[in-house]
Amino acid sequence: MASFIIEGGHKLHGEIHPQGAKNEALQIICATVLTAEEVIVDNVPNILDVNNLIQLLRDMGVQVKQLASAKYSFKAEKLDTAFLESDEFLQKCAKLRGSVMLIGPLVARLGKVIYAKPGGDKIGRRRLDTHFVGIQNLGADLNYDKKKQAFVLEAKQLTGTYMLLDEASVTGTANIVMASVFAKGTTTIYNAACEPYLQQLCRLLNAMGAKISGIASNLLTIEGVSSLHSAEHCILPDMIEVGSFIGIAAMTGSELTIKNVSYHNLGIIPDSFRRLGIVVEQQGDDIFIPAQASYQIESFLDGSILTLADAPWPGLTPDLLSVLLVVATQAKGSVLIHQKMFESRLFFVDKLIDMGAQIILCDPHRAVVIGHDRKVALRGNNMTSPDIRAGIALLIAAMSAEGVSRIDHIDQIDRGYQDIENRLNAIGARITRAE
């Protein structure tokens, strides 16, 4: 199992370019299954989760060509139905969280899908009820195959309907939207997720011939069509990586320019870092972070302690709370981090406490961070990455710490961050990969 050896205390300087958005890429690649014609996708990140999904599509019979380093062509002219009902397909799905978004396209295209419970991060319960109930609302039948330990969804003809989702699930909404494009009549989805990933998916589907309105809102209307055609699409920069780079600059006291961030798609991410006292300057479509000796956490107007909590878009994405928590450890002041969505995502704070951070873990969802104001540096430590976002948060902590740190199980980081050590080393970090 690979590890990172990090020599802390080095300042960074220069420019860094964010990769294509992981969460968008997974949705977009799954959507290519909806047409027999070629779909070209640009700015695809070279990361483990995306590469595994691309390989899964190849196994399904999709013709995949790499046109450039980050540009791919997908042509799902013929799908291997025998493979889609095999144990091998179920095993691969079980290992890959992103495969869950194949449910909608496969039901829409083939009228049947057999699907195992997916894998991915150990960050708490990630239920599939919204996905299955939504597609059932369109007229699909859901059964559980005990022998295969898999769900079976079948539908001769999906029919449009009105539905109110029980939660604004991003992947759930994506699945239902993709299933709805071929449904007879009109489908209305209320309490739909409206993250930029979803907006991009809807724009691609419309470019392929779908009729989706209400994009960027929580009320989507989809008029069913009989078929989709070829299209081209460019994936947005990864806003989680942009946020991670802001955190790295702040923690290491570095001057850093983050290039081509698609600023208007970042929502309240820049302001969330500003509330921790970090100067975040917009320069066209770039972000400039000046070197800061100190940064002070804001209080609420009534003087009470600041709370940063995740929420469905346009609220703060849960994927950045781990980074914000780490950044707060060296700020001046205190903040309550409230992770509402996942009950196991804050457990990595034990590692930060071992490094000298002052954190009170109140319960699985809440942690109070008391900032050191750089008076006490974090100490290097040996750690294990439990999930993608905790992994990058621990990497940020290690880069700012005194001494040498080791992070094991870094395949979790590789799942979401492309060539991260070489990109950071190019601007002054000291990170070595050890097998």
pLDDT value at residue 93: 87
pLDDT of residue 123: 35
* Cβ atoms 108, 182 nearer than 8 A: yes
329 in helix, strand or coil? coil
Indicate if 201 and 257 belong to the same structural domain: no
Tell me how far the alpha carbon of residue 427 is from its chain's centroid.
25
Find the helix or strand (DSSP H, E) in which 267 lies.
none
Q: Which of 205, 234, 263 is the last residue of a domain?
A: 234
Same structural domain, 287 and 386: yes
pLDDT of residue 312: 92
Of 76, 126, 147, nearest to 106 by C-alpha is 76
Active site includes 121?
yes
Do 32 and 15 lie in a common domain? no
The values of phi and psi at residue 144, to 5°, are: -115, 125
Q: Are 377 and 364 in contact (CB under 8 A)?
A: no
Whether residue 26 sits in one domain with residue 14: no
* Residue-level pLDDT at 183: 97
Verify that 184 and 253 share a domain, yes or no: no
Which CATH number does the domain housing residue 61 bear? Answer: 3.65.10.10
Last residue of a domain, one of 234, 268, 283: 234
Do 279 and 385 lie in a common domain?
yes
Domain limits for position 123: 22-234
67 and 211, same domain (yes or no): yes
- Asked if 34 and 204 count as a contact pair (C-beta separation under 8 A), the reply is no
Kindly give the parts of the chain with pLDDT less than 50.
119-126
CA 92, CA 87: separation in Å to the nearest integer?
9
Q: What is the pLDDT of residue 435?
A: 84
**Whole-Å CA distances, 161 to 30, 33, 287:** 23, 23, 43
Look up the pTM and report it.
Answer: 0.93
- pLDDT score for 120: 44
Q: Which tens digit of pLDDT belongs to each residue from 54-97?
A: 999 999 999 999 999 999 999 999 999 999 999 999 988 888 87
Joined together, the tokens standing for residue 244 give 């991670």
Confidence at residue 129, expressed as pLDDT on a 0 to 100 scale: 80
Kindly state whether residues 13 and 27 are assigned to the same domain.
no
* The domain boundary residue, chosen from 176, 201, 234: 234
- Give the residue among 41, 196, 26, 8 at the shortest CA–CA distance from 104: 26
d(CA 424, CA 410): 15
Quick one: 214 and 80 in the same domain? yes
Of the residues 49, 80, 121, 238, which is catalytic? 121
* Token pair 């704070």: residue: 349
CB distance 431 to 403 below 8 Å: no
207 & 263 share domain: no
Structure tokens at 179: 């299933």
Total count of domains within the chain: 2
| Rounded (5°) CA angle 277-282-284 | 175
156 shares its domain with 261: no
Instruction: Write the single-letter amino acid at 379.
Output: R
Residues 230 and 371 in one domain: no
pLDDT at site 127: 63
pLDDT tens track for 258-267: 999 999 999 9
